Chains A and B, each alone.
Chain A
Amino acid sequence: MTEFNNRIAAQREILLAVNSAHWREELYGMSSGALDRWVRANSLDRSSRLVNLLLEAAGKLFFLANKSQEQVTAEYRLRSSEVSGLTEEIRLELRRKT
């Protein structure tokens, strides 16, 4: 799979974990605009651990986006594994809350 498709798959995995829980409105994407909307629509505390984990994952996914930043292969791999770790933390946090 290409790095581009991998990045989409990583986003999808996080969104699937989040949206499998019940919310007034789904999280539509890992962009800052989509995250802001989701926090507001669900009256979430912006300083909560879940929101912070999502913002951190969004930042790393943003780095992985070809659009935004320089990519050095080794660093790309490191960030990819960091996103996997964060996805697991997001799952645990969601489980803790339900």
Chain B
Amino acid sequence: MTTHFYAFGSICRGEVDRSSDVDLLACITGPNPDLDTDKFSVYQHERLRSLWTEGNPFAWHLHLESRLLFSSDGVDFIASLGAPAAYKAGAEDCDKFARLFRESLDQLSQTRVNATFNLSCMFLGTRNFATCYSLWRGRPVFSRKSPMLIDDPLRVDEEAFGVLTRARVLSTRGIGDALSDEEVMLALRAVPVIQAWMSQLLAEVHR
């Protein structure tokens, strides 16, 4: 069994705060039931090779922002793969995340049931949209603040974006203060700005 462990994500960018977790990747061949999938993203070596061939955003993320922690055979497997293929799915991925934002907003407009989950999905849609757009532009930003850090940044009220970020942490890690109705309204006030920004960038990737 060959095993490689990596850290990736916020810890490798030094972007750590109280809501950060540590992203760990395990690359394995064959089964490894001892790995805790709550702690590790577990990928077969072959699957990673195919993500590299596809030019998948996750492959680019690992290529640019992962650090080897352990190698059972002395090889840095990710470094050995070199650069992933060119990223070609920019338009498709931006569409996908814009749709996630829109569908979650539609749900939130219909009912306040699941408000935190829907705000969390709106955060995910916005963040992933920005990351895919930045990768398509050739200047990738994988930060959770990617919408504000890319070329053509989202200029949104920081407090409103903070509510979306808190919703994401609540729904993925179950930590943080519950959102008040006022905070939900505050986040909703940022929606037109986010939608206008997405429309502008979508027009660019589809040109």
A-to-B contact residues, CB < 8 Å: 2, 4-5, 8-9, 11-12, 15-16, 19-20, 25-26, 28-29, 31-38, 62, 66-70
Instruction: Give the dominant DSSP class at A's interface.
Output: helix
* Pair count A-B, CB < 8 A: 74
Residues of chain B with a CB closer than 8 A to A33's CB: 172-175
Interface residue B171 (Cβ < 8 Å from any Cβ of A): yes
Q: Which residues of B contact A (CB under 8 A)?
A: 37-38, 41-44, 47, 58, 96, 99-100, 103-104, 107, 113-118, 120-121, 167, 170-175, 178
CB-nearest residue of chain B to A32: B38
- Nearest A-chain residue to B37, judged by Cβ: A68
Q: Which of B44, B100, B118, B171 has the most CB of A within 10 A?
A: B171
| A70 in contact with B43 (CB, 8 Å) | yes
* Sample (6) of A-B pairs whose CB atoms are under 8 Å apart: A5-B96, A12-B114, A15-B114, A16-B113, A19-B114, A31-B173
Shortest Cβ gap from B48 to chain A (Å): 10
Closest chain A CB from B161 CB (angstroms): 18
B178 lies within 8 A of A25 (CB): yes
Instruction: Give CA–CA (A69, B31) in the complex, Å.
Output: 11
Chain A residues whose CB sits within 8 angstroms of the CB of B120 once the complex forms: 28-29
Q: Which residues of chain A are within 8 angstroms of B103 by Cβ–Cβ distance?
A: 5, 9
Distance (whole angstroms) from the CB of B131 to the closest CB of chain A: 14
Asked if residues B175 and A37 are in contact (CB atoms below 8 Å), the reply is yes
CB <8 Å contact, B42 and A68: yes
CA distance A89 to B31 in the complex (A): 31
Q: Do A69 and B37 have beta carbons less than 8 Å apart?
A: yes
User: What's the minimum C-beta distance from A1 to chain B, rounded to whole angstroms?
Assistant: 8
